A and B are shown apart, each in its own frame.
Chain A
Amino acid sequence: EERLVESGRGLVRPGGSLRLSCVASGFNFRSYNMNWVRQAPGKGLEWVSSITSGRPYIYYADSVKGRFTISRDDTKSTLFLEMNSLRVEDTAIYYCVRATGAAVGLNVYDALDMWGQGTMLTVSS
């Protein structure tokens, strides 16, 4: 069975740091681009960061750029999100998400096809 399991939930003070982890199983993790997506309380989904497979390219939302660092350890099938200088507005459920490229005709379309159950981060004084 394919699974993504996040860990690292917690309560952190503003300005603090936390590292989230996501362990993948049931599929060839190293072959997939991986992402973090979050949902703040009462808000919609927000894409946070992506890391490609192989020689990784890395992308961040402007809201976290310079504060968050995404990384992966393919030997352990694990995705990480290092979060520094945390703000109250970073409070959210953080989802680890796999992206799959599907061929339709001559094009390849990326979609977020597998999601973890999410881990809650609360930033509060």
Chain B
Amino acid sequence: DIQMTQSPSSLSAFVGDSVTITCRASQFISTYLNWYQHQPGKAPKLLIYAASTLQGGVPSRFSGSGSGTDFTLTINNLQPEDFATYYCQQSYRAPPWAFGQGTKVEIK
């Protein structure tokens, strides 16, 4: 099964900063990589699919890149509502579909 590894597991940043989260797959997944945002007490939300395509309604300060095994999520001009936990997830071929362990973005 494909395993997903995110780094860092947590980070602190100021409002207005830019942050980058990385995700590595244990084997080739082309661009079958999704990113989700999870705020406490809320349902997770799809941000990006196909590694770099923004889901409708997601602000353009979010961007994704990568292919093969290495991927990044970048958030520019961090806003207060962006402080949350972010997960990558692979959807290469049939399930099982693994998530990364999550990256918690906290206010500095």
Contacts and interface: CB of A to CB of B under 8 A. Distances in A.
B32 A50 contact: no
Q: Which of A37, A49, A60, A112 has the most CB of B within 10 A?
A: A112
Contact of B87 (A35, A45, A61, A109): A45
Assign chain B's interface to a size class: 20 to 34
A118 B87 contact: no
The SS class assigned to the A binding surface is strand
Interface string A40-66: 000011110110000001011110000
B93 to A, nearest CB: 10
B101 interface: yes
Interface residues of A, number: 26
A117 interface: yes
Contacts of B32: 109-110
B29 to A, nearest CB: 11
A47 B85 CA distance: 16
Nearest to A99: B91
Given A35-B95, A60-B96, A112-B34, 20 more contacts: A37-B44, A44-B99, A44-B102, A45-B44, A45-B99, A46-B99, A47-B95, A50-B97, A59-B94, A59-B95, A95-B44, A102-B53, A109-B32, A109-B34, A109-B53, A110-B32, A111-B55, A112-B44, A113-B49, A115-B44
18 contacts: A44-B100, A44-B102, A45-B44, A45-B89, A46-B99, A47-B98, A59-B96, A95-B44, A102-B50, A104-B49, A107-B30, A109-B49, A111-B50, A111-B55, A112-B34, A112-B46, A115-B45, A118-B43
